[in-house]
Structure 1
Amino acid sequence: MKLDARLEAVRAFVPAGGVVADIGTDHGYLAVALVQSGQAERVIASDLNLGPCEAARRTVREERLNGAVEVRQGDGLTVLVPGEVQTACIAGMGGALMVSILAAAPLVVKKLDALVLQPMNGAYELRHYLYQHGWHVADETLVVADDRIYTVLRAEKGRCKMPDALTLEIGPVLWERKPELLRHHIESLLFQARRAAAGMEKSERAKQSAKYKDIQKRIKALEERLIW
């Protein structure tokens, strides 16, 4: 099963061996690739909606992996029994939704060894939640797919000092390692912040708000992070 660069980065971050959950599996491509590559002994793939579950089951049948990939329909991690899997992958969702998925199944999360996450947005909220709840970012990478830059991270158990807000937004491991795509990543965050500021500048009342001042401070701080 050939994956695009985004899902391949997710697959590569999964610790080898054990049972893996692929939450929000869509067509089941990641689940199948995890088994075929030997990355996982078994995968439980889930999706909230029937259509993606049927598509995933079709993919599993076509690849003759019915014994290695099980597809379950349900909401997030609630389809799992605590201790059933060692690693959970959640990709292609907003960070806020990922937080709600993690918060909805605390007993399942407590028994996990690792989380592999690819937020489409809201990375600050996601990282903040992880550090608040006894997890930390152990590894991160940036990857380009379909002309868009994506962040993929692996979180592991263990309390660590909470990074500052800007580092949580950029990514603590990314900032430490300074990968090739980091400037592009920060520039993307800057673009979003400047667009938000431009929208507020259409209103004099908004320009006087604390939120506008905070955005201006964030823009300045991000600009300073482009220099190293």
Structure 2
Amino acid sequence: MKLDARLEAVRAFVPAGGTVADIGTDHGYLAAALVQSGQAERVIASDLNLGPCEAARRTVREANLRESIEVRQGDGLTVLAPGEAQTVCIAGMGGALMTDILAAAPLVMKKLQTLVLQPMNGAYELRHYLYTHSWHVADEALVVADDRIYTVIRAEKGRRKMPDALTLEIGPVLWERKPELLRHHIESLLFGARRAVAGMEKSERAKKSAKYKEAQKRIKALEERLVW
């Protein structure tokens, strides 16, 4: 199963062996690749909606993987029994939605060992949730697909010191290792921050707010992180 660069980066972060749950599986391509590569012994592929589940079942059937991949329709981690999977993958959703999915299933979370997460946005909120719930960022990667930079996070159990807010936004492991795409990543965060400030500057009331001052401070802090 040939994956695009984004899903390949997710696959690369999955520990070998055991059972993996692919939440929001869509067409089931990641699930199939995990089994075909020998990385996962079994995959539970789930999606909230019937259409993606049918597409995933078709992928599984055509790849002759019905003995190794089970497709379930359901909401988030509620498709799993505690201890049924060791690793959970969630890709292509916003960080806030991922946080809600994780928070909604504490008993399942308690038995998991690894989370592989690829947020489309809201990475700060997601990382903050992990650190406040006895998880931490063990590894991170930046990857380009379809002319966009994506962040992939591998989280593991274990309480660690909470990074500062800006490092949580950029990514603690990314900031520590300084990968090739890090400046592009920070520049994309800056673009969004400057656009938000430009919107506030259209209102005199907004320009006098604490939110505006905080946004300006954030821009300055991100600009300082471009130099190392």
Instruction: Pick the TM interval, shorter chain.
Output: over 0.9
Tell me how far apart the structure 1 counterparts of residues 129 and 189 of structure 2 sit (CA, whole Å): 20
Counterpart of 2:21?
21
1:179 counterpart = 2:179: yes
Q: Deviations over 1:150-184 (max 9, x none)?
A: 00010000000000000000000000000000000
Equivalent residue letter for 2:195: R
Counterpart of 1:106?
106
Counterpart of 1:43?
43
Tell me how far apart the structure 1 counterparts of residues 192 and 110 of structure 2 sit (CA, whole Å): 34
Counterpart of 1:191?
191
1:82 counterpart = 2:82: yes
**Where does structure 1 lack aligned partners over 5 or more consecutive residues?**
none
Give the 5 Å matches for 1:48-197. Answer: 48-197=48-197
CA deviation after TM superposition for structure 1 residue 8, in Å: 0.1
Cα RMSD over matched residues?
0.4
CA deviation after TM superposition for structure 1 residue 19, in Å: 0.2
1:216 counterpart = 2:216: yes
Tell me how far apart the structure 2 counterparts of residues 195 and 222 of structure 1 sit (CA, whole Å): 14
Equivalent residue letter for 1:70: E
TM-score calculated relative to the size of structure 2: 1.00
Tell me how far apart the structure 1 counterparts of residues 99 and 149 of structure 2 sit (CA, whole Å): 21
For 1:151, what is the secondary structure of its paired residue? strand
Tell me how far apart the structure 2 counterparts of residues 133 and 60 of structure 1 sit (CA, whole Å): 34
TM-score calculated relative to the size of structure 1: 1.00
Tell me how far apart the structure 1 counterparts of residues 46 and 212 of structure 2 sit (CA, whole Å): 40
For 2:30, what is the secondary structure of its paired residue? helix
Tell me how far apart the structure 1 counterparts of residues 90 and 123 of structure 2 sit (CA, whole Å): 13
CA deviation after TM superposition for structure 1 residue 147, in Å: 0.1
Tell me how far apart the structure 1 counterparts of residues 47 and 197 of structure 2 sit (CA, whole Å): 36
For 1:143, what is the secondary structure of its paired residue? strand
Equivalent residue letter for 2:97: L
- Percent identity, please: 88
**Where does structure 2 lack aligned partners over 5 or more consecutive residues?**
none
List structure 1 segments (4+ residues) > 6 angstroms apart after TM superposition: none
Tell me how far apart the structure 2 counterparts of residues 192 and 37 of structure 1 sit (CA, whole Å): 38
Once structures 1 and 2 are overlaid, which stretch shifts more, 201-210 or 15-24?
201-210
